[in-house]
Structure 1
Amino acid sequence: MYEMTTDQHWVRQPVIMIVDDQSTNCHLLAEISHGFCPAGNILSFDDPLAAVAYANSHQVDLVLTDYRMPQMNGVMLIRSLRAMKHLIDPPIICITAIDDQQVRYDALNAGANDYLSRPIDYLECAARCRNLLNMRRFQLATLQHTKELEERVEQVIQDLEKKKMETLFRLAKVAEQRDTDTGAHLNRIGRYSALLSRRMGCDESFMAILEMAAPLHDIGKVAIPDSILLAKRSLTPEEWDIMQTHTIIGHAMLSGGDSEHMMVAAEIARSHHEKFDGSGYPDGLSGQDIPISARILAVVDVYDALTSKRPYKEAWSGKNAREYLRQQAGKHLDPELVNIFLADEAGIVEISSTIN
């Protein structure tokens, strides 16, 4: 007698909720509902409070509610359902035998999409319900499509961010390999930074950002002349002033973007030579005023520099490097971060032994 309301494109079985304290009315509306939506999950409630309780933890796609009911009338029910954000505004039809224009206004103002008067015209009721349920199907399909598009856009953004960071990482390697014999230092710095941030209880997002941003800390060295960067002698005060500008240059190279990766990379580039006691450069920051990302980098950079073989020195043992970090706690390095880092000796050894 009644046409099916939908094709097969529902993302799930549609749920139709009928609320009426009269069982005969529930049966009638259920029969009509089966006619226009034979595949639907049709639920009848003779207690509006039970209907509200169900809707509070389930999805509903169409609501047919009587107006005059004990404990809670139809307008109150509609307001309760509209307050449930997880329902995402399902269509609601208020049905009543009361010939009162004010009741109609109240129901529509409360959030009803339509209003039917008793006695019910079966064909009209089926047509109105079918139209509203189709609108609901389109609404859910649009939301699903929007979600998929947002996920695709987010993936594209992440891919672009990764490619950008990879490009900068290669540039950082150029700077690194001008004054060392290996680029593995950068990889270890990223891994050590992620290790320390994990031990600190940082969230996965920050850990991932830090692992990508940390290797860019010395990117400003690309602008330092070879005569200074590669000098095998003590630098003059003027040359040391130039050497220190790699922090400002690196910050300028990485600043200006709106991605969190670049913002973290920029603050690390500028502040990774600050010291906990305030004796570092370029801004003379101390303690908690130094960005946490730069304090993390300082700990792992010192450790890796000590334990790495360079043209001008042999690698320190892990034991000696750990003792040096303890000596620098509160001076050069954040003492709390030193303790956290050194507490995971197994993790440190794993990284140092696999990236060389």
Structure 2
Amino acid sequence: MLSVSAKESAPASAAPVTKFRPGAVWPDTTGKPINAHGGGLLYHEGTYYWYGEIKQGETYLPKVNASWGGTRVDVVGVSCYSSKDLLNWEPRGNVLPAVPGTDLDPKKVLERPKVVYNAKTRKFVLWFHADSVDYAAAACGVATSDSPTGPFTYIRSFRPNIQSWPVNLKEGEKDAKGSQLVKDFPVGQMSRDMTVFVDDDGKAYLFSASEGNPTMHISELTDDYLGTTGKFLRIFEGRSMEAPAVFKRNGKYHLIASGCTAWEPNAARSCIADSIWGPWKELGNPCKGDKAGITFQSQGTYVLPVADKPGSFIFMADRWNKDNLADSRYIWLPIEFDDKNAPVIRWQDEWR
């Protein structure tokens, strides 16, 4: 997408960052570019933690992905950064490194890591999209840690909702495409782009692109956040949404997602519901202004409720560089809301 010139390299010194500059190189406290792509944030005991994919090394195109341009870099692991002000980020290392010959093999897929804290077990739980290089496995990966800065211990990868039936489809009934889901997916429901959302009551949910991507699933997690209960909902059948980001405001549930166009940007979509179990209603593209039709040349990954500013939210997105993934950038923008409770995102060259 956006090429990077040598003049735009990260500063050699670790001068404090004082403003958000969407699309610019964002240095950490050591002066190196932040490397946390497709990620999410956790706020815990007064500190923000940013987790993301480590993109480094050669970008290449596997033959099995040539038809859709699925370039990649080898899996390195999950990075962690910490911050008090959301601007200056201290690197805390690789908290889930790649391990050859396992589900975390460098030649496999580890995408969109999200960490949540379980107050009952006092564990930090990391969920991510775990897949084969051709994206046929379509599974979730789970790891845990006693500390937000890891290291995380890998538990397993799996497809959620094994031998279960969605709450909005009666047993024996067929979906709109004539598929009997339990029969078609005997080892669980497919799960690709995903996020995890923890509600006010401590219940947690997995949102993921499923059924080959055309339909999104909302799956209830077990009390320990390590698996799914089997209760799930199918939403937006045939809409092909990915990159889900979920948040709650004034008792309403919000979802911002993208279409499925590989690395190429597209128009974001916003959705709202009174209950996590729906019904969910689309509100349209939350982005307004120049390049709103391509989400300001980016794809969303997370919506952050700002801890010390109730009612304030930040839209986090990645500006992917498909030919040099290590040079992908971050787009963080504040979210406003119109009189219909719909989110509005406008471009700003810089902001505080």
- After TM superposition, the score normalised by the length of structure 1 is 0.23
Greater length-normalized contact order (CA 8 Å, ≥ 6 residues apart) = 2
Q: Would you tell me which structure has more strand in proportion to its own residues?
A: 2
